[in-house]
Amino acid sequence: MFYNDSFRFFAASLLDASADTTGVYLQLFVLCMLQNRDVLAIAQREIDDVVGYDHVPELDDIERLPYVRATIKEVCVPVCLGPKYSLLDMC
């Protein structure tokens, strides 16, 4: 009984942690794109040129989207948030 409860708690903790991380990453990405409209415009142009207008980008398209791939990786770069930094300094 104890083992099953511990396993359930551990699994729920992992799920909760990943959901928080994903949500924060998406919020940070949107914030950075809103503050850097030129980057957003270039990424959108690349998506339009490579993927077109008839469907949304799929995982198979990422190899042909180097600017979009680099933009996504740039948001993933960890930044030390200390007294002199704020969330807005990250973008």
Given pLDDT bands bounded at 50, 70 and 90, which one contains residue 90? low
pTM above 0.75, yes or no: no
Which position has the higher pLDDT, 89 or 24? 24
Predicted confidence (pLDDT) per residue in 68-85, tens digit: 999 988 887 765 555 555
What is the DSSP secondary-structure string of 33-69? HHH-HHHHHHHHHHHHHHT-SSS---GGGGGG-HHHH
Question: Is 75:25 a contact under the CB 8 Å cutoff?
Answer: yes
Tell me what pLDDT residue 87 has.
Answer: 53
Tokens of 55: 């469907």
Per-residue model confidence as pLDDT tens digits over 3-60? 667 777 777 777 676 667 777 788 888 888 998 999 999 999 999 999 998 889 999 9
